[in-house]
Amino acid sequence: MSIEENKAIVRRWFDAWNKGNLEAMEECYAPDRREADKEYLKNTFSSWYGAFSDFCYIVDALIAEEDRVAVSTRFTGTHDGLFQWSTYGPWPATGRHMAGREMFFFGLIDGKIAEMTATWNPVDFMQQLGVSLAVTQAAS
């Protein structure tokens, strides 16, 4: 696939996310992708949109070379529902607006997403919401 075609599939993935179209997102993935499965995607999506009903990614830049696409994004949302995802939460709605930056790195095979990693600043995210990670004490 061409660099432009690879960028287009990644842009389609973000468009599908913003529209809440899990089926369209799934169509962007290679059948043997190296990351989380469809159930993980569904749970991730539900966690974020359940807590931030207006969650949105803004794609600032897509940079591609061969079968790799790097994406610089911003995300925004209002914390209007219970948030629990991965090791974060549960945090009841705070009503606060948050905005952050996230970098994504996609690996594509034959025009489909085979792998994806992302990096963001969860500390800034938690500060904007006014929440913190619970600290667990080991029994003495």
The residue-averaged pLDDT of 50-57 equals 95
Report if residue 139 sits inside a domain.
no
Report if residue 61 sits inside a domain.
yes
Query: Average per-residue pLDDT in the chain?
Result: 90
Residue 83 is part of which domain span? 3-129
What's the CATH number where 125 sits?
Answer: 3.10.450.50
Of the candidate ranges 4-8, 12-16, 127-131, 132-136, the one whose mean pLDDT is the lowest: 132-136
Tell me what pLDDT residue 1 has.
86
Q: How far apart are CA 131 and CA 133, in angstroms?
A: 7
Residue with the larger pLDDT of the pair 38 and 115: 115
Report if residue 113 sits inside a domain.
yes
> How many domains is the chain partitioned into structurally?
1
SS3 76: strand
Q: How far apart are CA 97 and CA 33, in angstroms?
A: 33
Report if residue 140 sits inside a domain.
no
Report if residue 104 sits inside a domain.
yes
CA dihedral 43, 44, 47, 48 (to 10 degrees): -150
Confidence grade of residue 136 (pLDDT, cut at 50, 70, 90): very low
- Residue 77 CB neighbour total at 10 angstroms: 20
Q: How far apart are CA 101 and CA 88, in angstroms?
A: 17
